[in-house]
Chain A
Amino acid sequence: MLFTRKKITTIVDELTTFFFSVGSNDMVVKIKQKPDGFHIFFASNFDIKMQRTVEHLEENLTRGRAPEIEESYWGLNGSGDFQDENELILIGAMIDSAQVEICEGYATLNLFRAF
């Protein structure tokens, strides 16, 4: 598996960029490497006016892993400002599962990426 750790950092980078774009000023990241893969915990506040944008997160993160998209485009993660929801598709293509909880201006994400 090439650049596995680098890919994890780009996922976190893209999520950080996304939450900055929706008004976050308080984020928590926790990454745990286990025998089956990487578990990423990400929690952040956001501007309540951006609720609808944040609600798209789960939809885009749970589309299933797509190795061919990952390998072709993972280098894009974290590049530039967050502009479009389609940028989250790339994270979705790089993870095996995602649990997203959103309530009152706060989002909690549990992502898993198998080796």
Chain B
Amino acid sequence: MIERILWTVAIATMLFSLLFDTPIGIAQGVWKIILHPDGLITDYSKVGGFGATFFNSGLIMSASIIIIKKSHATISGPTIACVFLMAGFSMFGKNIANIWPIILGVYLFSRHQKENFSKYVYIALYGTALSPLITVVALESGNLVQKLLAVILCGTLIGFLLPPLATYCLRVHQGYNLYNVGFAAGLVGTLIVSVMKSFGYETTSSLIWTYENDPRVIAYIFLLSASLMAGGWFMLDDKKSIRRIYRHSGRLVADFIILDGLPITLFNMGSLGIFASAYILITGGTINGATMGGILTIIGFGAFGKHLRNVVPVIGGVYLGSLVKVWNIYDPSVQLAALFGTALAPISGQFGWQYGVLVGFLHSSMALNTGILHGGLNLYNNGFSAGILALIIVPVIETFKKRKDHF
């Protein structure tokens, strides 16, 4: 059933692209996307048009489902989170060309360790956060053979660094950062970019962003969210049981499919999608490739840790911050900080809404300053900053919170 839902969304997303462009136009747009540098923030809807963006997203979503399925991994909450995240980031940074070297790198790592690739399938897919690095390496290299060798080498390096680091990073934030691989990828990206800089590579920040709202795009995201909600609602016998999901802190590993079943999870995913989309529109933002990436990621993690109770305080914290800080709530980076800051939702779910507001408030400041470390080449910059913030905040909260048990 889960697999069927994922395929439906993937195919619908690809078909939806035809509302924006002709097949030839879409193909040309995808080609433009492939050849364009992908560092943060590169909204693909501005580079190749919405037609190509939707098609690229659906295509990568399909590829992700096939990879997970072929690896014989269990299809559950983490699968949904991972596939939706891949779909989301395929609207601003991942494309059908730049993801493969990293997936190959993690595959080679699994062979080297004499392990089955299925064990590392999620790390491989999440690890494509560093895909913009692959594009940079490809664009900077000489002829086709050199390009191929360079990207395979780079992908292999990332593939060998990420799995052990991702496991280690979990211990640092204790599962309170839902984008754990984003944290690890940020560290790897910082290391690689620092070395590249010492050999003369210069990082440039980019802001390619669609500022106009398109009713068709808004319709897509609301239709998707409403369909998930309705699907969950009609599958559910006891409607009151929907509230059960809110008792979870959301800390890793909160697989809502296992804990509360598919109907409640679908309803949760849909309600999160509607909330996140409404937030962007109400605060004067734009539903474009990048923000849609954030919304799709939130929807996906509605099966793996996020629900309205733990997400709303964090977004509220980002909003409150924008009232007193030097930027506006509708600035591109701040819109993304609000959406992706929900990586810290488990802090809110575990320690209370006031801590959620606090981390949201702090997160926007952190996220807007960590990008420089990896030159914007880690797409999960918010996951990186969320990891650092969780590392600072969680031990402090745990030390000072009132404990029933003084041991």
Q: Which of B251, B258, B407 contacts A63 (CB 8 A)?
A: B258
The answer on a CB contact under 8 Å between A68 and B254 is no
- The dominant DSSP class at the A interface is helix
Tell me whether A75 and B167 are in contact in the complex, defined as CB-CB below 8 angstroms, given that A66-B74, A68-B74 are known contacts: yes
Tell me whether A73 and B252 are in contact in the complex, defined as CB-CB below 8 angstroms, given that A68-B74, A86-B259 are known contacts: yes
Q: Does A89 contact B (CB under 8 A)?
A: yes
The answer on a CB contact under 8 Å between B258 and A89 is yes
Distance in angstroms between the alpha carbons of A63 and B163 in the assembled complex:
25
Q: Does B48 contact A (CB under 8 A)?
A: no
The answer on a CB contact under 8 Å between A89 and B119 is no
- CB-based nearest B residue for A79: B174
Chain A residues whose CB sits within 8 angstroms of the CB of B115 once the complex forms: 1-2, 71
Chain A residues whose CB sits within 8 angstroms of the CB of B206 once the complex forms: none
Which residues, 73 to 97 on A, are CB-close (under 8 Å) to B?
A: 73-76, 79-81, 83-87, 89-90, 93
Q: Does A114 contact B (CB under 8 A)?
A: no
Chain A residues whose CB sits within 8 angstroms of the CB of B259 once the complex forms: 85-86, 89
The answer on a CB contact under 8 Å between A68 and B71 is yes
Tell me whether A67 and B253 are in contact in the complex, defined as CB-CB below 8 angstroms, given that A72-B166, A89-B258 are known contacts: no
Interface size of B by Cβ–Cβ distance < 8 Å? 37
Distance in angstroms between the alpha carbons of A89 and B121 in the assembled complex:
19
Chain B residues whose CB sits within 8 angstroms of the CB of A70 once the complex forms: 119
- CB-based nearest B residue for A3: B167
Distance in angstroms between the alpha carbons of A87 and B259 in the assembled complex:
11
Distance in angstroms between the alpha carbons of A83 and B401 in the assembled complex:
14
The answer on a CB contact under 8 Å between A86 and B123 is no
Q: Does B170 contact A (CB under 8 A)?
A: yes
Q: Which of A63, A64, A76 contacts B252 (CB 8 A)?
A: A76
Distance in angstroms between the alpha carbons of A87 and B78 in the assembled complex:
14
Q: Most chain-A Cβ atoms within 10 A of its Cβ — which of B123, B166, B255?
A: B255
- CB-based nearest A residue for B173: A79
Which residues, 53 to 81 on B, are CB-close (under 8 Å) to A?
A: 71, 73-74, 76, 78
- CB-based nearest A residue for B164: A2
Q: Does B248 contact A (CB under 8 A)?
A: yes
Residues on B lying within 8 angstroms of A by beta carbon are 71, 73-74, 76, 78, 113, 115-116, 118-123, 163, 166-171, 174-175, 180, 248-249, 251-255, 258-259, 350, 394, 398, 407
8 further A-B pairs in the complex, CB-CB below 8 A; given A68-B78, A73-B252, A80-B174: A2-B115, A69-B253, A71-B115, A71-B119, A75-B168, A76-B174, A84-B251, A89-B258
Residues on A lying within 8 angstroms of B by beta carbon are 1-2, 20, 63-64, 66-76, 79-81, 83-87, 89-90, 93
Question: Which 5 pairs across A and B sit closest by C-beta, in order of nearness?
Answer: A71-B119, A75-B170, A75-B167, A68-B73, A79-B174
